[in-house]
């Protein structure tokens, strides 16, 4: 199955999901299509003490969850902390470049491997005013994370967390609207283009593109362009077919 087909199938399933169980099944199907063993949609909180309405949807081994919760690692887990230092998806092998690992951090990663969780890829989902969160994908020990799916994992991870977030909060009655130029800028940003590159493609000034994206972020109440793309995808302002059509 092509990357576009995987992303498109997941979007359809996630948009149709009315329960966390349905979203879980959509994530499992998506992971199977990419040859990935595990996923985890999580708010970074201590679930054993104060879960509240926090999001937690994952396919990790049950024994790992017990070990993780007994130690209250929701906030201190090294992968979670690394996701606070970057706005795009990253391989777990890059964690030492994002944060300084302690002996305890290394023990956590080693223990995860003993429970059957090896290399992974995490997509930060940090919404201003809300608890830090992320969507992670992981392989069993000894298996490399499929590099060809980094881009799809980035898109699916952000979209999946937004789907889980909306299920937990209920639907929004009023959706933001973008102007045609704002939509064009968001679309090219979702394709990975810089502000300067977008200005050259659209034939407008660099400052104009910066302004359009700033206004679009303000309409959605987000500070990162990755989250802006996810929100625009979820609301139908742009589509995965638009993103892949270049």
- What CA–CA distances, in Å, run from 237 to 23, 72, 202? 22, 39, 18
DSSP assigned state of 135: E
Question: 3-169: CATH homologous superfamily?
Answer: Transcription factor LuxR-like, autoinducer-binding domain (3.30.450.80)
Confidence tier at 47 by pLDDT (50, 70, 90): confident
Cα–Cα distance for residue pair 124/137, rounded to 1 Å: 12
Sequence spans of domains, the chain: 3-169, 180-244
Confidence tier at 53 by pLDDT (50, 70, 90): confident
Instruction: Bin 89: left if φ > 0, else alpha if -120 < ψ < 50, else beta.
Output: beta
Query: Which pLDDT tens digit goes with each residue over 150-189?
Result: 988 988 998 898 889 888 876 554 678 889 999 999 999 9
- Residue 174: predicted pLDDT: 62
Average pLDDT for residues 81-91, to the nearest whole number?
92
pTM of the shown model: 0.78
Average pLDDT for residues 41-66, to the nearest whole number?
89
Note whether 3-169 and 180-244 share their fold: no
Confidence tier at 227 by pLDDT (50, 70, 90): confident
Class of domain 180-244: mainly alpha
- Residue 173: predicted pLDDT: 46
- What CA–CA distances, in Å, run from 176 to 18, 157, 213, 224? 22, 22, 14, 16
Using an 8 Å Cβ cutoff, are 202 and 180 in contact? no
Inform me whether the pLDDT recorded for 52 exceeds 90: no
Q: Which residues contact 79 (CB under 8 A, 6 or more apart)?
A: 92, 95, 120, 122, 134, 136
Average pLDDT for residues 207-212, to the nearest whole number?
94
């Amino acid at each position: 199955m092509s990357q576009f087909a995987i992303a498109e199938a997941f979007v359809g399933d996630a948009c149709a999901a009315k329960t966390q169980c349905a979203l879980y099944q959509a994530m499992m199907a998506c992971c199977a299509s990419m040859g990935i063993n595990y996923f985890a949609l999580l708010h970074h909180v201590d679930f054993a003490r104060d879960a509240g309405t926090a999001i937690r949807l994952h396919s990790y081994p049950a024994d790992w969850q017990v070990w993780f919760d007994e130690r209250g690692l929701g906030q201190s887990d090294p992968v979670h902390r690394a996701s606070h230092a970057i706005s795009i998806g990253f391989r777990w092998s890059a964690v030492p470049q994002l944060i300084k690992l302690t002996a305890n951090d290394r023990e956590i990663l080693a223990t995860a491997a003993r429970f059957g969780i090896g290399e992974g890829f995490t997509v930060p989902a940090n919404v201003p005013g809300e608890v830090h969160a992320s969507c992670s994908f992981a392989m069993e020990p000894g298996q490399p994370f499929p590099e060809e799916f980094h881009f799809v994992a980035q898109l699916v991870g952000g979209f999946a967390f937004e789907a889980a977030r909306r299920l937990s909060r209920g639907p929004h009655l009023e959706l933001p609207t973008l102007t045609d130029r704002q939509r064009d800028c968001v679309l090219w940003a979702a394709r990975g283009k810089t502000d300067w590159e977008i200005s050259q493609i659209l034939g407008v000034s660099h400052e104009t593109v910066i302004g359009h994206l700033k206004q679009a972020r303000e309409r959605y109440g987000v500070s990162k362009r990755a989250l802006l793309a996810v929100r625009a995808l979820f609301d139908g302002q742009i589509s995965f077919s638009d993103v892949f059509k270049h």
